[in-house]
A and B are shown apart, each in its own frame.
Chain A
Amino acid sequence: MSDKLKRAKAYWKENLRYLLILLSIWFVVSYGCGILFSEELNQFRLGGFKLGFWFAQQGSIYVFVILIFVYVRLMNKLDKKYGFDE
């Protein structure tokens, strides 16, 4: 039982670290690139798009989708590592 507790603690700690990293990216692409710094980024271009505008209406959404699938992969591995997978 105490082994399970120890594993659970370590599992939770790694999980929180993943969350912190992934949510930082989430914040930077949407609130950073799409909102706070969109004016500045608009000086750069991605084809016909101004970059800040692209992040706000396209790029951030693509990143959101990728983030969730990265999370799914990371967690599936983590579940296996600590023996919590089903």
Chain B
Amino acid sequence: MSVQTWTWILVGVTFALYFGIAIWARAGSTKEFYVAGGGVSPLANGMATAADWMSAASFISMAGLISFAGYDGSVFLMGWTGGYVLLALLLAPYLRKFGKFTVPDFIGDRYYSNTARTVAVICALIVSFTYVAGQMRGVGIVFSQFLQVDINLGVIIGMSVVLVFAFLGGMKGITYTQVAQYCVLIFAFMVPAFFISMQMTGNIIPQIGMGGEIESGTYLLDKLDTLHTELGFNEYTSGTKSTWDVFAITLALMVGTAGLPHVIVRFFTVPKVKDARKSAGLALLFIAILYTTAPAIAVFSRTNLIETVSNKEYEQIPVWFKNWENTGLIAWSDKNGDGKIQYVAGDALVGKPKYIHARGAHGERLVSNANSEANELYVDKDIMVLANPEIANLPNWVIALVAAGGLAAALSTAAGLLLVISTSISHDLIKKQLKPNISEKGELLAARISIIVAIIIAGLFGIYPPGFVAAVVALAFGLAAASFFPAIILGIFDKRMNKQGAVAGMIVGITLMLIYMIVYKTGLWMVFDPLPKSEWWFGTSPEGFGTIAMLVNVVVSIVVSRLTAAPPKEVQDLVENIRIPSGAGEASSH
């Protein structure tokens, strides 16, 4: 059977499974809609958290990103896993004991203030929307790459699927679909990895194969370092970023992970405090399976790529190369006219390939934006996961699996984020502020309407991606680090922290982060371009600036709180209460 047929079958079967679960897990109350009734087992919650967390970017782009960045790619590996240690030790158990529905709930009650609640809602919306736009685009890309469906139609199909299980089941439907999606995505990620590891190193476990020997008796990583040096790249195992910047980016990603509302809210769904701790551990275990495999795939595919293309005649190149050239993820420009592919350090083109409708002497697609550097090859980083099974000559069903896995990763994350957005509106804004005496039924209806609106907005972002989206998705972590994380941690560990301190800290933190982002990363449309690297504060990249903004938030919060009145007695009692695990059941009855 062809890849196309296999892909339709696998995507069809997995979608049918998600629909089946959605109908089985309909939500009847707001508690079921917001936190799945608080009765999810730690194992199921661990899987759901892992699927929620691992997005289209983790599944499709991360291995490729590491493949091209080498050691520098470690920031993502450590940054996106280490945050779970903070989450498990510093946040999850206490927030579970507090036992309401959302992060703004905690901020609003702990800081006895609707201003604090509103600031938290705004932060949650900014963080979640920047994040969800990328997911919808990811769904569209998977559809267009594997099924030759128009990218916009792909986005619309993805939206409709999320709509069904999120609308019907809320958190309950999402949780159990995410469990299924985790199984699909991890299977789809691991199967090609086992095959390739076996082929290249003779060891089926990629984590071990990565450090193994290749036929010639030399270590794979040493071979790759040598190849890199020969072609003028940096050694694969050493980095180019400054140590401080690697430090800052890793910390911003870790703290940001622990502060992302769609991750935190997952820990409200388990029955007890000890379940919250355990499910954080299980979540990280499930995530680690993918996150320790990705760097191995990066090494395998990097070596494979260089060996397959470097100094080879274009006309002799395998067919996958030409297939991906046709979809626009590869471009070759024969600058020195020798008919061979020279792949060396440096950019081959100015930006992304701009194809002209003509073929060159060897049948390659011509581009109009080649530069004068020696490198002749442009390779999109996403290709490392998408094309890996083809490069390694794996069976068609394995290639099709990657499509189903990519869709599972994108849909599960999108669903989690959309729920946070709709909860922020129906619960934190309508129920808690605008219409406190709204009925249970009315609130549930409001939640369902806002999820539809959120899906439509997210879909529009996917169809008409504003230029800044790609640039700011990575910064969503910086925003979360600069706003929520300090307010929650201080709320638990500093009894003296009061509303003035927390509100001032959150506002200063997120504003500082936004300003730095605009000045050094995105620029302001029509007004000014982003300032260059040489102007960065202490050499900190915008991705790493979340670390500084977070520290500023902490300092501002502490100073302001010490200059103003202590929080009232009942809030201090609340803090005492969440520090002790027993009685989480009663605390959650709303």
Interfacial residues, chain A to chain B (CB-CB below 8 A): 8, 11-12, 15, 19, 22-23, 26, 30-31, 34-36, 38-39, 42, 46-50, 53-54, 56-58, 60-62, 64-65, 67-69, 71-72, 75-76, 79, 83-86
Query: In the complex, what's the smallest C-beta–C-beta distance from B330 to chain A, in angstroms?
Result: 26
Main SS of chain A's interface residues? helix
Also in contact, A48 and B247, with CB within 8 A (given A34-B74, A61-B77, A68-B281): no
Also in contact, A79 and B78, with CB within 8 A (given A35-B247, A48-B220, A61-B292): no
Tell me which residues across on chain B come within 8 A of A56, comparing CB atoms: 71, 74, 77-78
Also in contact, A62 and B292, with CB within 8 A (given A31-B247, A48-B211): yes
Which of B51-59, B82-90, B99-107, B514-522 contacts the other chain?
B82-90
Interface 1/0 per residue, B447-482 and A, CB below 8 Å: 000000000000000000000000000000000000
Q: Is residue B30 within 8 Å, beta carbon to beta carbon, of the partner chain?
A: no
Lowest 3 CB-CB distances: which A-B pairs, in order?
A: A48-B219, A48-B211, A56-B74
Instruction: Please measure, in the bound complex, the distance between the C-alpha atom of A12 and the C-alpha atom of B395, giving whole angstroms.
Output: 56
Query: In the complex, what's the smallest C-beta–C-beta distance from B367 to chain A, in angstroms?
Result: 34
Instruction: Please measure, in the bound complex, the distance between the C-alpha atom of A14 and the C-alpha atom of B582, giving whole angstroms.
Output: 16
Also in contact, A49 and B82, with CB within 8 A (given A31-B247, A42-B237, A62-B288): no
The reply to whether A68 and B280 contact each other, CB–CB distance below 8 Å, is yes
Subset of 18 A-B contacts with CB under 8 Å: A8-B576, A48-B213, A48-B219, A50-B237, A56-B71, A57-B292, A60-B77, A61-B81, A61-B288, A62-B292, A67-B85, A71-B88, A72-B274, A72-B277, A75-B581, A85-B581, A86-B273, A86-B582
The reply to whether B211 and A26 contact each other, CB–CB distance below 8 Å, is no
Given A75-B93, A79-B582, 13 other A-B residues pairs in contact with their CB atoms under 8 A: A11-B579, A11-B580, A15-B579, A26-B85, A42-B238, A47-B219, A48-B212, A56-B78, A57-B71, A64-B81, A83-B582, A86-B581, A86-B583
Q: Is residue B207 within 8 Å, beta carbon to beta carbon, of the partner chain?
A: yes
The reply to whether A64 and B582 contact each other, CB–CB distance below 8 Å, is no
The reply to whether B288 and A30 contact each other, CB–CB distance below 8 Å, is no
Instruction: Please measure, in the bound complex, the distance between the C-alpha atom of A84 and the C-alpha atom of B577, giving whole angstroms.
Output: 11
The reply to whether A53 and B71 contact each other, CB–CB distance below 8 Å, is yes
The reply to whether B85 and A64 contact each other, CB–CB distance below 8 Å, is yes
Tell me which residues across on chain B come within 8 A of A79, comparing CB atoms: 274, 581-582
Also in contact, A68 and B274, with CB within 8 A (given A56-B74, A57-B77): no
The reply to whether A64 and B84 contact each other, CB–CB distance below 8 Å, is yes
Tell me which residues across on chain A come within 8 A of B385, comparing CB atoms: none
Query: In the complex, what's the smallest C-beta–C-beta distance from B65 to chain A, in angstroms?
Result: 13
Interface 1/0 per residue, B312-353 and A, CB below 8 Å: 000000000000000000000000000000000000000000
Tell me which residues across on chain A come within 8 A of B90, comparing CB atoms: 19
Q: Which residues of chain B from 548 to 590 have any CB-CB distance to chain A below 8 Å in the complex?
A: 576, 579-585
Tell me which residues across on chain A come within 8 A of B295, comparing CB atoms: 57-58
Instruction: Please measure, in the bound complex, the distance between the C-alpha atom of A64 and the C-alpha atom of B254, giving whole angstroms.
Output: 12
Tell me which residues across on chain B come within 8 A of A76, comparing CB atoms: 274
Q: Which residues of chain B from 470 to 505 have any CB-CB distance to chain A below 8 Å in the complex?
A: none
Instruction: Please measure, in the bound complex, the distance between the C-alpha atom of A79 and the C-alpha atom of B580, giving whole angstroms.
Output: 9
Interface 1/0 per residue, B263-295 and A, CB below 8 Å: 000000000111001101100110010011001
Tell me which residues across on chain B come within 8 A of A60, comparing CB atoms: 77-78, 81-82
Tell me which residues across on chain A come within 8 A of B66, comparing CB atoms: 57
Q: Which residue of B lies closest to A54 (CB)?
A: B211
Instruction: Please measure, in the bound complex, the distance between the C-alpha atom of A56 and the C-alpha atom of B212, giving whole angstroms.
Output: 17
The reply to whether B278 and A72 contact each other, CB–CB distance below 8 Å, is yes
Instruction: Please measure, in the bound complex, the distance between the C-alpha atom of A85 and the C-alpha atom of B580, giving whole angstroms.
Output: 9
Q: Is residue B222 within 8 Å, beta carbon to beta carbon, of the partner chain?
A: yes
Also in contact, A8 and B77, with CB within 8 A (given A23-B89, A61-B288): no
Q: Is residue B301 within 8 Å, beta carbon to beta carbon, of the partner chain?
A: no
Tell me which residues across on chain B come within 8 A of A61, comparing CB atoms: 77-78, 81, 288, 291-292
The reply to whether A69 and B211 contact each other, CB–CB distance below 8 Å, is no
Instruction: Please measure, in the bound complex, the distance between the C-alpha atom of A72 and the C-alpha atom of B81, giving whole angstroms.
Output: 17
Tell me which residues across on chain A come within 8 A of B222, comparing CB atoms: 48
Q: Is residue B534 within 8 Å, beta carbon to beta carbon, of the partner chain?
A: no
Also in contact, A64 and B211, with CB within 8 A (given A30-B82, A36-B243): no
Also in contact, A65 and B219, with CB within 8 A (given A26-B82, A49-B211): no
Also in contact, A35 and B250, with CB within 8 A (given A61-B81, A72-B281): yes
From B85, B237, B584, contact of A68 by CB (8 A)? B85
Query: In the complex, what's the smallest C-beta–C-beta distance from B43 to chain A, in angstroms?
Result: 13
Tell me which residues across on chain A come within 8 A of B219, comparing CB atoms: 47-48
Tell me which residues across on chain B come within 8 A of A11, comparing CB atoms: 579-580
From A47, A75, A84, contact of B211 by CB (8 A)? A47
Tell me which residues across on chain B come within 8 A of A72, comparing CB atoms: 88, 274, 277-278, 281
Tell me which residues across on chain A come within 8 A of B81, comparing CB atoms: 60-61, 64
Instruction: Please measure, in the bound complex, the distance between the C-alpha atom of A67 and the C-alpha atom of B87, giving whole angstroms.
Output: 12
Q: Is residue B174 within 8 Å, beta carbon to beta carbon, of the partner chain?
A: no
The reply to whether B84 and A30 contact each other, CB–CB distance below 8 Å, is no
From A34, A35, A62, A75, contact of B277 by CB (8 A)? A75
The reply to whether B274 and A85 contact each other, CB–CB distance below 8 Å, is yes
Q: Is residue B414 within 8 Å, beta carbon to beta carbon, of the partner chain?
A: no
Q: Is residue B508 within 8 Å, beta carbon to beta carbon, of the partner chain?
A: no
Instruction: Please measure, in the bound complex, the distance between the C-alpha atom of A47 and the C-alpha atom of B219, giving whole angstroms.
Output: 8
The reply to whether B579 and A12 contact each other, CB–CB distance below 8 Å, is yes
Also in contact, A84 and B580, with CB within 8 A (given A61-B288, A64-B82, A68-B88): yes
From A15, A68, A86, contact of B585 by CB (8 A)? A86
